[in-house]
Amino acid sequence: MNVTDAITSRRAVKWYDPDHRMPEETFARLMQHALLAPTAFNIQNWRFVRVTDPEQRKAIRAVAWDQAQVTDASELLVLCFDQRAWDKEPARYWRNAPQEVQDFLLPALEEYYRGKPQVERDEGMRSCGIVGMAIMLLAKELGYDSCPMDGFDYAAVGKIINLPDDHEIAFMIAIGKGVKAPWPKPGQLPLEDVLVENRF
């Protein structure tokens, strides 16, 4: 499957085969490719919580409008981000870069993020959005459907997964074998309604 086919065929599927289990090698391939998604300053600030415990899945479903995909999908990923990733051993992000690149980027990183919690949060949301789409498109290539989710109680899910204080949740993705066709596309806006050239 090429990228065009993956983009055009990907849909937010709500109904999954609860008996299907994704092979570990398939999950590993999915996540290894996810790690190739770009992040600002290469800080790789996304953190993925793979929820496999059935009781934990039930608890999340209870605070997610009782959406069946939470428990029925083969995989449930809670996409989180570490707001302070930029300040945790930052030299490791460029350990293979030339020294002059490291000498430039480390001070720039400090200047860009320190004392700017909104920038930290915005960066985390951007990073998770990019990696989330990468995950969903590769899942499609691998023969799986997916559903990005923000319909849940973020604080409650944070407690269930023991979210650290310096982390936030961006959204969740359910991945599995769909058993029912998604709803028809509700209607895409025409390009001229969303594309602006040069300025509004």
Give residue 115's pLDDT. 95
pLDDT in tens, the chain (200 residues): 888 888 888 999 999 999 999 999 999 999 999 999 999 999 999 999 999 999 999 999 999 999 999 999 999 999 999 999 999 999 999 999 999 999 998 899 989 999 999 999 999 999 999 999 999 999 999 999 999 999 999 999 999 999 999 999 999 999 999 998 888 888 899 999 999 999 99
Question: Per CATH, the architecture of 3-194 is what?
Answer: 3-Layer(aba) Sandwich (3.40)
143 SS3 class: coil
Tell me 42's DSSP state: G
Angle formed at CA 56 by CA 54 and CA 59, multiple of 5 degrees: 115
Under a CB-based contact definition with an 8 Å cutoff, are residues 161 and 71 in contact?
no
Give residue 156's pLDDT. 98
> pLDDT tens for residues 10-69?
999 999 999 999 999 999 999 999 999 999 999 999 999 999 999 999 999 999 999 999
C-alpha distances (whole Å) from 42 to each of 29, 31, 106, 109, 178 are 21, 17, 11, 10, 34
- Which sign does the torsion angle of CA 183, 138, 48, 38 carry? negative
Give residue 3's pLDDT. 86
Give residue 184's pLDDT. 84
Here the tokens at position 43 are 């800080």
Give residue 169's pLDDT. 98
Give residue 149's pLDDT. 98
- Residue 7: count of CB within 10 angstroms of its CB: 12
Give the global pTM: 0.94
127 SS3 class: helix
